[in-house]
Amino acid sequence: MNIKTVPATDKWTEYTLTNEAGMAVSILDFGGIITKLLVPDREGNLENVVLAYKNVQDYQQNPNYFGALIGRVAGRIEGASFNLSGKNYTLEANEGINHLHSGSAGFHQVLWKTEPFQTNHAVGLMLSHSSPDGEGGYPGNLTVTVTYTLTNDNRLLMDYEASSDKTTPLTLTNHSYFNLSGNLKNTVDAHAATIDCSQVVELDDQLIPTGNLMAVEETPFDFRAGRMLGDGLNDEFTQNQLAGSGYDHYFIFDNKQEQKVVVQESASGRQMAIETDQPGMVMYTGNGLDDTLLLSEGKSRKYLGVCFETQGSPASLHHKNMPNIILQADETYKTQTVFAFSLMK
């Protein structure tokens, strides 16, 4: 195991955590961005399984949020506003009239304080940040720590902890785009996914939740017994079409399985299982990607990666039947998501 530190730019530092199996994750202090994740295939070849820019300076803008920590609130907030305890709060409208991933003041644009660490079984990096009351339009002085831990059994843990001196909306996530084919050899069409979910949140044509929960039965959203992501990428089902021919939806977990998601790519033999205490996730299949971005292994293209954004639902700010994201003053926000890598059996 080791931790390697290199300057990424004149202001940013990149930390690479490597375990005893050779698996490695590279993380910038800027945005807490995962820039590389090397995972073995069935032949033992270590290859990158996340989308990343070839030029590190491109993360300065990063409109697709590659690898970044997202907060204070991950996802879309309808009308770039919300009401809390009788008071209206106005946010930056950075996607039409709506607010996406906390706008330009979001945590993906923050230079985090970092503290690497090592134990007998793991290597890690703790990132911390303080967001002042009113930043981005949100109430409360907020302190946040996010800890990435890579264990020797190829588990990548993401631990989030935060507290605020005022009641405030909060739901944090990581926005890595995964591609288990390795080094972006193929799009994610042939990734098979199993998801512990029988209801998803219906979207309108602006990708804003309508407030309706949609049963997954007999739709391309039914992953309970496993199916290919490609099933929904070319489907004529209205919800897939609204998302740009793919998925960009909040899946509410049934909590019947410890592993909420299992993803497999048969050509490489890689498997990724997701464990989390979050109530659901947004699965986004890279529907908005095109060939204008230069990535570490070549040009980007549609469906080149898939995000599993474990989080609460910002739609709860406008609809009461969604997983809540309100953090009470002086309470502790604490949640964990684990990405466990192995080989298909």
pLDDT at 321 over 90: yes
Asked if 175 is an active-site residue, the reply is: yes
Mean pLDDT in residue range 270-280: 98
pLDDT at 235 over 90: no
Collect all residues with Cβ–Cβ distance below 8 Å to 1 and sequence separation of at least 6.
18, 19, 20, 118, 122, 123, 152
Query: What are the pLDDT digits (tens) for 32-50?
Result: 999 999 999 999 999 999 9
Query: What are the pLDDT digits (tens) for 324-335?
Result: 999 999 899 999
Q: Exactly one of 99, 101, 175, 191 is catalytic; name it.
A: 175
Over the range 99-132, which residues count as b (16 or more CB within 10 Å of their CB) and which as e? bbbbbebbbbbbebebeeeeeeebbbbbbebebe
**In whole numbers, what is the pLDDT of the chain averaged over residues?**
97
Question: What is the C-alpha to C-alpha distance for residues 174 and 184, in angstroms, rounded to an integer?
Answer: 20
Q: Exactly one of 14, 78, 265, 309 is catalytic; name it.
A: 309
Collect all residues with Cβ–Cβ distance below 8 Å to 101 and sequence separation of at least 6.
65, 70, 73, 74, 75, 108, 175
pTM of the model: 0.98
User: Domains of the chain by range and CATH?
Assistant: 2-343 (2.70.98.10)
Asked if 92 is an active-site residue, the reply is: no
Query: What are the pLDDT digits (tens) for 154-211?
Result: 999 999 999 999 999 999 999 999 999 999 999 999 999 999 999 999 999 999 999 9
Query: What are the pLDDT digits (tens) for 214-232?
Result: 999 999 999 999 999 999 9
pLDDT at 234 over 90: no
Collect all residues with Cβ–Cβ distance below 8 Å to 159 and sequence separation of at least 6.
145, 146, 147, 149, 334, 335, 336
Question: What is the C-alpha to C-alpha distance for residues 279 and 247, in angstroms, rounded to an integer?
Answer: 18
Query: What are the pLDDT digits (tens) for 122-142?
Result: 999 999 999 999 999 999 999
For 295, phi then psi, to 5°, come to -100, 175
